[in-house]
């Protein structure tokens, strides 16, 4: 699948959450500015950006997402499923009259997939167990257990890490270093 570059101007959805490329994030939308944003994204099949928030301002690196499914169980509440694509960096932002945050962004190229170093095999085994427990709905195929980028992103999503740690892992461009950090976290949890 080829990735499209992030648009120059992107609607942003600041959350208390980090989503990694290739990940899925269900959202419950009820604020009018975000309802309008998502309706537009569905109608145009256009992306929007999700970025973690700290001290009422978004981090500068976020992830482009597309709506893959939606449902409106009651008026004014929209349930959506999103699929994360590439990362982006916010160069500047402004708030529109509706209250929607818009960002001028540059796409961050995808990390090149590399093999899992032998000494980090534990990360793959832990991820296999997690996927077996959560199932295909949370982790749809294809699985890339031999790709350090994919394994690192999936573990970063599901391990109980602080928001700032997840953000640091998202911003990192070294998949082996990311896996080493995650392996250390896992080892501390096991011992």
The string over 82-115, giving b where at least 16 C-beta atoms fall within 10 Å of a residue's C-beta and e elsewhere, is bbbbbbbbbeebeeeeeebbbbebebbeebeeee
Place of tokens 């992103």: 153
Cα–Cα dist 104/94, whole Å: 9
pLDDT above 90 as % of the chain: 86
In this predicted structure, the answer to whether residue 4 has a pLDDT above a threshold of 80 is no
Cα–Cα dist 108/45, whole Å: 21
What is the CATH number that goes with domain 9-108? Answer: 2.30.130.40
Count of alpha carbons within 13 Å of 87, Cβ hemisphere only?
Answer: 22
Identify the weakest region by mean pLDDT among 63-77, 128-142, 163-177: 128-142
Q: Kindly list the domain boundaries of the chain, sorted by start residue.
A: 9-108, 118-190
> Which pLDDT belongs to residue 2?
46
Cα–Cα dist 155/179, whole Å: 9
> Which pLDDT belongs to residue 135?
83
Average model confidence (pLDDT) for the chain? Answer: 93
> Which pLDDT belongs to residue 5?
55
Residues in the chain: 191
Mean pLDDT on 100-124: 95
Four-way CATH pick for 118-190: 3.30.1130.10, 1.10.10.10, 1.20.58.1480, 3.40.640.10: 1.20.58.1480
Q: Are 16 and 52 in contact (CB under 8 A)?
A: yes
pLDDT (tens digit, 9 = 90+) per residue, 30-72?
999 999 999 999 999 999 999 999 988 999 999 999 999 999 9
Mean pLDDT on 173-180: 96
> Which pLDDT belongs to residue 16?
95
Q: Are 66 and 83 in contact (CB under 8 A)?
A: yes
In this predicted structure, the answer to whether residue 1 has a pLDDT above a threshold of 70 is no
Confidence of residue 108 (pLDDT cuts 50, 70, 90): very high
In this predicted structure, the answer to whether residue 137 has a pLDDT above a threshold of 90 is no
In this predicted structure, the answer to whether residue 3 has a pLDDT above a threshold of 60 is no
């Amino acid at each position: 699948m080829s990735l499209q570059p992030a648009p120059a101007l992107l609607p942003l959805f600041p959350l208390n959450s980090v989503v990694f490329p290739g990940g899925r994030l269900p959202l419950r939308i009820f604020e009018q500015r975000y309802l309008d944003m998502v309706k537009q994204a569905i109608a145009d099949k256009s992306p929007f950006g999700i970025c973690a928030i700290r001290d009422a301002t978004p981090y500068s690196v976020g992830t482009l997402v597309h709506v893959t499914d939606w449902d409106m169980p009651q008026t004014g509440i929209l349930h959506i499923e999103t699929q994360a694509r590439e990362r982006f960096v916010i160069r500047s932002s402004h708030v529109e009259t509706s209250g929607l945050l818009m960002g001028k962004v540059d796409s961050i190229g995808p990390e090149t997939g590399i093999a899992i170093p032998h000494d980090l095999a534990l990360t793959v085994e832990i991820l296999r167990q997690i996927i077996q427990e959560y199932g295909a709905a949370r982790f749809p195929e294809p699985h890339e257990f031999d790709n350090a980028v994919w394994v690192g992103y999936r573990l970063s999503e599901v391990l109980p890490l602080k928001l700032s740690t997840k953000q640091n892992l998202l911003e990192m461009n070294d998949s082996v270093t990311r896996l080493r950090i995650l392996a250390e976290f896992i080892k501390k949890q096991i011992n």
